[in-house]
Structure 1
Amino acid sequence: MTRSRIRGTGSYLPDRVVTNAELETMVDTTDRWILERTGIAQRHIAAPDQICSDLAEAAARRALTHAALTADDIDLVVVATSTPDHIFPSTACRLVERLGIAPGAIAFDIGAACSGFVYGLDVADRFIRTNGAQRALVIGAEVFSRILDWEDRSTCVLFGDGAGAVVLEASEKPGILSTHLHADGRQTPLLNVPWGVSQGYERLEGSHGKVSMRGNEVFRVAVRTLGALVDETLSANGLERGDVDWLVPHQANIRIMTATARKLGLPPSRMVSTVADHGNTSAASIPLALDTAVRDGRIQRDELLLLEAFGAGFTWGSALIRY
């Protein structure tokens, strides 16, 4: 059976770091308040001249180097983002040109908010399993700072910019064992950017293209939904809670992440957490965390990883991976 296996990982963070102390000078908040409620101490913010494809390209190149491959080896590019360069062409198409991938490769973006990277893994895995592609770049990249209201203390303290990438390739060895994706559009008012281009500029009055979130309600739904997702993933693979070696969660909030680890029966030391240093980087958060733990030696080959995410839509999903 053909499977898709992670051959390499890569990530990129902008140089500028905004600490909680700096945010104290911008909005009515405190370092203690942010840390206690979210676990975030700082976040990286893109330079004014950096766009999504800049971050994505840097992460992709590092993933290719880690995989000991070149652009010529890639025939599928999937970019998960809520902050693309353009309405069209897709950021993925721009990366085909920027990376020097041969014309004719498959390339497209996925919009599933914070769940986007897991959605991207699922899609790329299906291409590889059905021989539609041999090697894929799956990238989560965000310049989320561009859609933040820096006067809204309930949202601006949470998010940051960054990119993460993996190279998937066809393999007879175990790799992605299963993926589980879901969505529910009934909860859209709880987390959204309340304006889009199809509404027309004349309808912009009274709204704006910035993140709007009812945090407490999102928190309650996320904890409940991710708990059920853990059960679904383990059951589908005939596994017990103790069989998972590492939880690599979406880095939204340390309390949500810890609740999911408890559901798995995992100690905090077996959960990859980068939220303190990166904040919530939306679709980039899981590949950023994965690359961090691979490169510092925590995650080793043949270990069992559970990736899970919850995002606006609502969307949610998991991927069980034999790394």
Structure 2
Amino acid sequence: MVTLSMSATSRETSLVNLQRFIELQQAHLERTRQDLEKLDRLRERVKGDPEAFLKHMTDELNDPAFRRPPPEYLRLPEVDWSLLAGADSSVFENLSTSRRHTLRERNPLREKLDAIVSESGLPPVQRPVYHYAPPPDLSPVEEIFEFIGRDREVSSGGEEESDSLFGTPEEEDRVVRFLLPTNGHEHGDANDARGDDEPSDAEDNAPSGRRHSTTFAQAWSTQEQRLLEKQLTLIPPNTTRRWAKVSKAMKEDGADRTARQVASRVQKMIAKMLKMGVRPDPELWGDMEGDKEKEGKGDDKKRKAEEEHGKEVKRAKPIPKTKSNAPKK
């Protein structure tokens, strides 16, 4: 009981002395900062008027800031350090040391090999260093439409997409067929006639028909996208057969894209920009409203031509029957 009371008293006294020592050191630190400020001010005065300083040097240096600190600031407190043995950090050091020993015991072969390599004088094995090239700088259009490269150039039915909004890029030969009547009393429907605007299924599916390009149904690469943007800036929208000329220029640079693919690509890019609220530049993409009006006029002419052709077919006279010279029975 007496031992417990003595240990408690010693612990309390040690903590009080340690607390006083900490407070005293904090005050000493503050006083040291003030003394440094005084020294700075004294240096400025010496630089400004050294003669006046030499005359009153004794009075200037009589300040307590230029003296040694009192001995109580340097006296260590009376603390029973044995009471703080439970907070010793050596426990953590021993813990990390035991971990290192455990790793060494787990990998004895590695230590032996390291010793052999070090004794042989061979250079240490260098770890491979990987260098990654920075991504290429993309133009503003590529940053917006870099995900368009995953788009396909074919529709869901397997056929190529229709022409651009700006007109047919190429003139192709079309087969015109008319369904003739089987006899003199029946006539074929005018809607069965296929003109330039509606190619027949037999023509599209024929093995000897139009050949597909080498890039048919392939996604556009970044290089092809850049070449397309470059040619769009070089070839103005009002150029005749613009898509064919863009296709030809791209082929000269190594990008095999047909005029139909170029027109379809531009149409998709314009649709994406409109969807994102970006107004396409008419100097680069063309006058869309004017092209739509031209398309509307073309559709009206086509519709009128079909109606007139249907009226002519309906007004066609039947083929007269030939009289037979055979005698009547």
Q: TM-score range by the shorter chain?
A: under 0.3
Larger Rg computed on CA atoms? 2
Flag the structure with higher strand content: 1
- TM-score by length of structure 2 reads 0.20
- TM-score by length of structure 1 reads 0.21
* More relative contact order, 1 or 2 (CA 8 Å, 6+ apart): 1
